[in-house]
Each structure stands twice: as C-alpha cells, then as structure tokens.
Structure 1
Amino acid sequence: MGVGSAEKTETGDSPFSFRLLGIGFWQAWWMLVLCTTIVVPPDLSFLGVRPSVWTLLFTSIGFAIAAIIAPRVGSFIERGRMFGVAALLCTVGTGVCLVMRALPGHDAFTGLLLAFLMIAAFGNALLLVMWGELWATLATDRVSQYLFSSYAFAFVLFFGVQLLPEIVTAAAVCLLPLASCAILYSSRDETRRAPSAAVFAVDRPLVVKAMGAVVVAGLAYGIAQSFYASMAAPHIAEGRPDLLVAGACFIALAAHIAFERSAAAPIAMFRPIVPALSIGLILFAVLPIAYGYFGNGLVIVGGYCLDILIMLVSADLAFRAKRPVALFFSCSILVLRLATIAGLAAVDLAAGVGLVSPDSQLHLLIALAVLVILVGTLVFSQSELQRFYQPQPAIRQNRDLEEHCAVMAERCGLTAREAEVLMLLASGRNVPYICKELCIAESTARHHVGAIYRKLGVYDRQGMIDVILQG
C-alpha cells in the first residue's frame, strides 16, 4: 500500500497489524546481548570496562555513521540492500561471538570477540534506524499501542528464548535480528501518511532543553544499571528478576494504551518516564539490597519508555521538516546512548579505583532521583513536549473554513470520512456531536480523530487549527 492508502472501512478502525510488532524481535536480541551472558562471557573486560559498555559504544558509533551518511543516502528503508546489510552484520557478528564464547580459553581472543561484537552492534544500529524511518511515515493512530506492545512482546521473547535448550537458544539469538529485518521489509506496504503539508516552528532553545533532559535521564539510567550489576546482582541467585518486573509493567502499559487509544502518542510515552525513573531510583536506594531488583525494574521501564519516546519524536520532527529521518533519529538516540555509556563507565572506573563506597552509591541514587524529578517538571515537562508539535501560527487566508479544510485534507491524504470529521472538529464540534452527526460509534470517531492528528503531524485541536489555516 502506498501513501494515503488504507486497509479499513470508512466507519471502522484500521485492523491491528501484527507485523508492526516486529521491532520486538530487535529489542529481544538487544536485551539478550546486553543483559545476559549468552553472547558475551561474564568475565570479559577490556580496559577495566564491562562488555555492555563496549556494546553501547559500538552501537553509538553505528548511529554516528548513519547520521553522517544520511544526507547522501536519503532513506535507508527505501534501499533494499540495506536490509541485507543489517541482517548480515547482526547475524554473522552474533554468530561468531557465540562460537568464540563457547571456545575454551576465550580470554585470549578478547580483541577478536570485541571486533565481531562491533560488527553486530553496527547492524543493530542500522536496523533500528530503518525501523525509525518506518515509524515516521506510518499513518495509523495506533503508534503508541504498537510500540508499547512491541516492547512487551520483547520481554516475552527474552525470557522464552532462555527456556530453550542451549543450542536452540544460541540459534534463536542469531535469528532474532534476521526475523526483525524480514518483518520490517514486509511492513513497507503498511499505510503511509503523505509528506507533511504544514509549516512548523523550530524552537532551538526547546531542542537544547530536550537534549539536556535526555542526558540527565541517560546518566541516571546508566548509573543505576552499573550499581545494580555491582551491588544487587551478586545477592541474587540467578536470572534477571528486575527484567521480570519491567516486563510486567510494560504488559500493563500496553494493555492500558490499547484500551485508552489516546490520540497523543508522545504524551502517552512521556508520562511514565519521570515516575518510573525517580521511584525506581529511590526504591533501589532504600530497599534491602536483595530486593533492589524492584527498583531497577522500574528504572528500566523509565529508560525504555524514554527510548521509544525519542524514537517517535525524532522521527516525527524529521518527517515534518522534510529532512532525512536517519539524521534526526540517529543523532537523538546517539545523545541518549552516550549519556548512558558515561553513567555506566563512570561508576565502573570510580569503583575500580575506590572512589565510590556502598554508602555513597546509595546517596547518589537518591540525588539522581531528585534531579530526575526536577528536570522532568521544571526543565522539560509535558507542556514542553507538546510545544514540539505546535505548528507555525498562520494568518487565515481569504477563503472560508470549509475550503481550508478541503485543501488540507487533500494535501495530507485524508479519507472522505476523515475529511468530514476534520470539518466538524474545525467547527468546534466535540466527539459526541460527531458521533451523532455522522451516525458512528464513539470508538470509531476517536479513531478518525487520532488518524487526522497523525496525518497532520499534530496531537491537539489547536495544532490542527493552525495547520488548517496554513492551507
């Protein structure tokens, strides 16, 4: 299906596309590499820094490369060979790491193992960038539902794969990125929205504030993960109970989003971040160390929600600015990854030279919780996020409102029913009135409102009016 096409009726919701959960295969692979010893030996260390830090660093380099070449390449997802490149790098890199991991005396091959880990990480970055390009152009109003459901699905895969026999687990880890690539390739015919027809203001100070908030959250996340690995993990017999907590929370979030069907997808993703990070850090600091996984589980929820928020917002901003999505997407994720790396590495290095004691670690966690709350309420709050989606105010042209709506409906590829709903919304009518006027169910009316907002690139009525008046 091309731009503006839709596999739906004029009076019903678009069908749920299970293909769009395919990013969950990528996320499950990422978690298995970072959070288990299946791919990387537990005793592996290079320059005093743990393998997870190197994996994040290599992936960050991949994002940097994608950002550099994006202006010349354009859209990665439109180049078929990129799917093969991403699948090959991820699968081969992971496979060789698994083989070397099983060899006796693998300590002698640390440099070589890290080299193939770098290859896998590069493929991982390319694959995620292409998923970001797909999210940027999807016309569906279910974006938040798909992303939360994908991450919930990833947790199911994460634990399910580890229950398999060892050789099957190894094969599954190699095949997960391949499956994600194949599903992404088949998803290119999902309903796409037309190129942005609106003019949006670029508020550079707002972008700086957003990046500052991302850095603080990334540092807090990285520091918490480093403390968990060094303080709590040794007191836990086996497994990752913190990820069980995080998985349960994501399943609950996915269920909530499925019932709520909010038209404001970025807001739905933003709301859990500050509470999850701050409460998680506090619980980690005050609970007995053996129960620290409850706090770290919430920290992971906050970190992953921040991940998907950045994915969506950066892709949306690039789409509206008519710039390469890979450029905006890669730069945004790169900032978060580098902040996380700084948090992880700083604690590792400080602990290695005896600068961080157990007591000071707990005090630092409390201080980080307070900092996250301050940043999320005073520096970059929900109202600042909404400003990202505020169009450039326009002076109404010499034409009536109905003509403005008709022009914008055609430019943005709205269906006939969506054009009717747009006109009623612009006239000040609410959802109950629209249901009565068009003889449709409330759920259907809300679906049309969400689809209109998505195609216009806004998430509230005021932004919609501003876009209409630009027509």
Structure 2
Amino acid sequence: MDDVSLGRRLGLDNRASVLDFCVVLFGLALCRVWIILCLSAPFALAELESSDWLFLLPGGMTALVAALVATRAADRVAFDGGFKTAVGVLAALFSAVTPVVASLQHPWLLGLFMVLGGMASGCLQMLWGAAFARRSQLFCLYCYPATAVVTAVMVAVVLAGGELLVFCVFPLASFLLLLVASEGSGSGSEATKAEVPAEAADESALPLSTIVRLLISIGVFSFLCRFFDGLPAGDMVDPLAVIGGSSLFALVVTGVGFLGFVVVAGRTFNPLIGYRVALPLMAAGMTVIALFFAHHWYLSILLIGMGYELFDTLTWILLVVLAQNQRVRWAPLTVFGLGTAATMLGMGVGRLAGVAVSAGLASGAWELPSVGVACVMTLVITAFLVIPEGTFAQLAGIRIFDRGEQRPADEDAAAEVATVAGRHPLEAACMAVAEEYRLTPREGEVLFLLARGRTLAIVVRDLGIAKGTAQTHMENVYHKLGVHKQQELIDLVESYVEG
C-alpha cells in the first residue's frame, strides 16, 4: 500500500484533512488522559478504600440515560446541539471547581467532584464516538490505536510534572477540539443517509440480540480489567516504572502493534485476528494472578492491559460500524452512549467487587488462585457463549472461512464479478475493489456505475432493476467499502487505479 493510496483511503489528501486527523487524535487523547488520571484518584478520599467507582458508576449511568433519551428524540439535530452544549457546561464546571476542591480537600466536595467528572467524561466520550462515526472506518482503524499511544505518552509526562493543571485544562481543551472536529468532519454519515434511503439501511440492520451481546461482552471485559486493581502488590517494584509503569506500557505496545498490523494487512485487515489475540492475552494475565501474582504481579497487569486495550480498540471500531450501519434505527450518540455505559458500569462494578475480594483475601476467606481461575472461566464463558467468533464476525460485517482463508464464499460469483472489468483502468480498478471487498456480481456492476458518477436513476435504467433493489445494492456497496458518500467511493476506486 503506497502513501498516495493510503492517504486517499484515509481522506488525508490535503492539509485540512491532515489537520482534522490530528484534531480528532489529540482531542480524544486529552479525554482519555483526563479519565485515566481521575481513576488514579489524585484527590483520594481518606474515608474510602476506593473512590474511583464514584467516577465510573455515575458516568456510566449518565451515558445510559443520554443514550436512551437520544433514541426518543424527535429532532436529532436539535438534541445533538443541546446535548453538546450540556457537555460543554459540565466540562467547564469541572475545570472551574478543580482548584477549589484541591485546596479544601473536603470529603463531600471530593465525592461530588468525582461524580461530576464521571458524568462529564462519559458524555464527552459519546460525542467523540459520534465524531468518529462521521468518518471512514479506515480512519478509525488508524486513529484510535494511535490515540492509545499518545494517551500513554501524555499520562507519563503529566505524572512527572503534576496533575492539577490537567483537570483544569484538559476537559475544556478536549471539548474545544471536539467543536473543531465537528466543524471539519464534512457531511459524513448524513451524506450517506441522503444518498442511500432508509429502506435500504433497515434491510441490513443487525438483530438487536447481537448488539446486546456486544454490550454485555464490553461490560464483562471492563469488569475483569478493573477487578484486579485493588490486589495488594506488596513491596515489589514495577520494572517498567521508569517508563510509566506496566499499564501505560501496555497502551503503547498495543497501539503500536495494532497500527503495524493494519499497515501490513492493508485492505485485507481481518478484525477476527485481533479478537483471537485479545482473549488469550487476558486469560494469560489472569493465569499469572492465579499462579505467580506474588512474584510477577506487574506481568499480570501488562498482559491484562494489552488484552483489554486490544479488545477496546476492536469494540470501538465495531461501534463505528454499528453507528454507520444502524444510523436509521439508532443515532451515533445512542450507539456510543450504550457502549460507554457498558464500559464505565462494568469498570465501576468490577472495582467495587475487587475491593470486596481484596478484603476477603486479607481475612483468609478467599484464595487468590481460586479467584484467578474463576475470572478465567468468566472470560471463557463470555468468549464462547456471549460473543463467539461468529457473532463478532457478524458485527464486523465479515465472513469466517474455513482455516481462516480469505476468499470469496462463491467462486462462481467471483468469476462473474471479474466480467465487470475490461481493459479500461477504471473498470480494472472496480474489479479489484469488488474482489478485495467481496462484492456480489450485481454489487460489482453497481460499483462500476457509482464510480463513474452515475445516480440512482441511471443505475435502475442501465441494470434494468427495480428502484428498491438498486437502493439495497447501493447500501451494501457503501457498507462493505466503509465509505459514506459517492465522492469517497470514487476516491477509493481511483486509489486502486493509481496503486
């Protein structure tokens, strides 16, 4: 994949689009840094053994309520604008009260401070998710893991130089960058909605049970990620403390590794591979807890952190896919509100459960090996019964082939797709795109007409098919290619011509 082709597929073919990529990258990174530092309890409540649940549970409940309200909103544009204003007020309020809370150190103020931060950060994550949904899926594949790397670096720098400024500046800075990203995102998914009617989108809607399974799995993985935070580490020193600690190192390794895999895989990227890696990593980390925690606790943090960050990256991408594919039934704010709620509620409950188990370990009522084994079994049950590979593949919009082989499901259909191509470079490019993205023969013909700038009426006339059928084929082409409007489709096909 050459630089020109990659740039075009990402939409980074001019300075404005490069700036947009950087704005989204650093804006979400600022939000994530803010959340991580809040979870590290910078203003710890002396009366409580753990206070980060005060941040997580209210944040998850606020995101859940906002997502449910968004589903009932009669005017989505008005709701989005009002919601964005409310989040800006919450972020500004959090930044304004930080110096007061830090100086007074009153328990009630600290508790309210954590609750306010959770509510504001949860809603801000929803808005950033909606911003990603207005961009291409390939944009997300590169931007989100890059955010993990930037987040880890920023947290390490902040921890070395003080945290108070972060709580005063980062929430507002992230929100302001969100406003810039919203202005520069173009028509995005709304353009797709205009070009591909609602009827076609509804036909490709996923079953509600499949989406619920994804949300349950997000909650379970988040629960397991925070469950072990309260375990006593003894006097052992983290050997990676010099570069920020095992948890931050896990962010960097996972982000860089994911980016490298996407670059190498190119157009044949298969998210199932990442899912197959995330599960063993987390299971290995829990096994270390069961067997070697007393001597290698940092290794368990590293492995669980890598596995969870990989899973988090994949689920963020799946939420983008859902927000684009389900935009008629659910708005992007609803999709990411439910995803954020599952994450924060899972982490909050996991943190409370971890505190209770830590007390049981200290009193002798629990044994660490049995706790580790129970968590491994929970992970295995979730992977096999809640979100097995078939469900994950359905969410990602891909197919599973025998022995992982990436080939069209129907060889005869592939041969028919090839007949769409001729000697003209544009036709050859359309054939390559059709084969790469596993389009059906009819979808390949529709792709060729769309790449030539033809409208729905022309597709109906030239192919001799009904209008509703043409609309369905157009929706499928847009969805499989991960583009939002016809110009993006043309740019994608042209990248194959030049590549």
TM-score, with structure 2 as normaliser: 0.68
Instruction: Answer with 276-285 or 12-21: which moved more.
Output: 12-21
| Equivalent in the alignment of 1:124 | 121
Partner of 1:375: 382
Q: Distance in 2 between matches of 1:25 and 1:77?
A: 27
Render the CA deviation track for 1:22-49: whole Å, top value 9, x for unaligned: 21111111111112x43x22x5344xx5
Q: Equivalents in 2 of 1:140, 1:206: separation in Å? A: 20
Which residue matches 1:454? Answer: 482
Tell me: CA distance 1:353–1:280, structure 2 relative to 1, closer, same or farther (3 Å): closer
CA-to-aligned-CA distance 1:354-383 (integer Å, 9 cap, x gap): 786496123211331243134324542232
Structure 2 residue identity aligned to 1:455: V
Distance 1:11 1:297 in 2: 33
CA distance, structure 2, for counterparts of residue 10 and residue 87 of structure 1 = 34
SS of alignment partner, residue 248 of structure 2: helix
Aligned mates of 1:86, 1:384 — CA distance in 2: 34
Q: Distance in 2 between matches of 1:284 and 1:378?
A: 24
Show the counterpart of 2:253.
Answer: 249
1:131 CA drift (Å): 0.9
Deviation larger for 207-216 or 241-250: 207-216
Is residue 93 of structure 2 the alignment partner of residue 92 of structure 1? yes
Letter in 2 for 1:214: I
Shift of residue 315 of structure 1? 4.0
Q: Say which SS state the counterpart of residue 364 (structure 1) adopts.
A: helix
1:163-203 deviation per Cα after TM superposition (whole angstroms, max 9, x unaligned) = 22x3xx42234222222222222222235241264422433
d(CA) in 1 for partners of 2:83 and 2:205? 33
**2:185 pairs with 1:190:** yes
1:178 aligns with 2:185: no
What is the Cα deviation at residue 456 of structure 1?
7.4
Counting only pairs closer than 5 Å after superposition, residues 151-162 of structure 1 correspond to structure 2 as: 151-162=148-159
Residue correspondence of structure 1 range 329-348 to structure 2 within 5 A: 329-348=336-355
Aligned to 2:61: 61
Q: 2:112 aligns with which of 110, 115, 126?
A: 115
CA distance in 2, matches of 1:133, 1:179: 18
Q: 1:140 to 1:304 in 2, by over 3 A?
A: closer
CA deviations on 1:121-170 (whole Å, 9 max, x unpaired) are 21111111111112222125231221111111101111011222x3xx42
The aligned runs of 1:287-436 (5 Å cut-off) are 287-289=292-294, 291-321=296-326, 322=328, 323-352=330-359, 357=364, 360-377=367-384, 379-390=386-397, 422=433, 426=439
Taking the aligned partners of 2:218 and 2:57, their CA distance within structure 1 comes to 17
Partner of 1:443: none
> Is the 2:223–2:346 Cα contact (8 Å) retained in structure 1?
yes
Amino acid at match of 1:287: F
Question: Corresponding residue for 1:460?
Answer: none
Q: 1:145 to 1:9 in 2, by over 3 A?
A: closer
Aligned to 1:394: none
Q: 1:213 Cα deviation (Å)?
A: 3.0
79 and 367 in structure 1: CA distance in 2 versus 1, 3 angstrom threshold: closer
Could you tell me how far 1:272 is from its partner in structure 2?
A: 3.8
The aligned amino acid for 1:341 is: G
Tell me: CA distance 1:352–1:294, structure 2 relative to 1, closer, same or farther (3 Å). closer
Report SS of the residue matched to 1:261.
helix
Secondary structure (helix, strand or coil) at the match of 2:229 reads: helix
Q: CA 1:77–1:367 in structure 2 vs 1: closer, same or farther (change >3 Å)?
A: farther
Q: CA deviation at 1:248?
A: 3.3
Whether the 8 Å CA contact 2:54–2:118 is kept in 1: the answer is no
SS at 2:136 equivalent: coil
**Alpha-carbon distance change, 190 to 265 in structure 1, aligned in 2, over 3 angstroms:** farther
Letter aligned with residue 185 of structure 1: L
Single out whichever of 127-136 and 329-338 deviates more from structure 2: 329-338
Partner Cα distance (1:265, 1:378) in 2: 21
Provide the rounded CA distance (Å) in 2 between the counterparts of 1:295 and 1:74.
47
Give the CA deviation at 1:221.
Answer: 1.8
Secondary structure class of the residue paired with 1:455: coil
Structure 2 segments unaligned to the other structure (5+ residues): 13-17, 399-415, 421-425, 443-450, 452-476, 486-499
Residues 93, 374 of structure 1: alpha-carbon distance in 2 compared, 3 angstrom cutoff: same
Q: Which amino acid aligns with 1:286?
A: L
CA shift for structure 1 position 242: 2.2
Structure 1 gaps of 5+ residues are: 1-7, 392-400, 406-414, 430-437, 439-448, 458-471
Aligned residue type for 2:90? L
Instruction: Provide the residue aligned with 1:44 in structure 2.
Output: 46
C-alpha distance in 2 between matches for 1:226 and 1:170: 24
Correspondence 1:218 to 2:222: yes
Shift in Å, 1:273: 2.5
Aligned with 1:125: secondary structure?
A: helix
Give the whole-Å Cα distance in 2 for the aligned partners of 1:75 and 1:180. 23
Rounded to whole Å, the distance in 2 between the matches of 1:226 and 1:455 is: 44
Q: Distance in 2 between matches of 1:98 and 1:175?
A: 11
Residues 251 and 305 in structure 2, CA contact (< 8 A), matched pair in contact too: no
Within 1, Cα distance between the matches of 2:428 and 2:137? 15
**Cα distance between partner residues in 2 of 1:10 and 1:366:** 44
**Structure 2 residue identity aligned to 1:63:** A
| 8 Å contact from structure 1 (residues 139, 451) kept in 2 | no
Range 335-344 or range 125-134, more displaced = 335-344
RMSD over equivalenced CA pairs, Å: 3.9
In 2, Cα distance between equivalents of 1:120 and 1:28: 13
Equivalent position amino acid for 1:90 in 2: A
Aligned pair count reads 399
Instruction: Work out the percentage of aligned pairs sharing the same amino acid.
Output: 15
Question: Distance between the aligned counterparts of 2:113 and 2:150, measured in 1?
Answer: 27
Residues 334 and 128 (structure 1), Cα distance of their counterparts in 2 relative to 1, 3 Å cut: same
CA contact (8 A) 1:97 1:117 kept: no
Structure 1 76/154 Cα, relative in aligned 2: closer, same or farther at 3 Å? farther
Give the AA of the match of 2:482: R
For residue 52 of structure 2, give the secondary structure of its aligned residue in structure 1.
Answer: helix
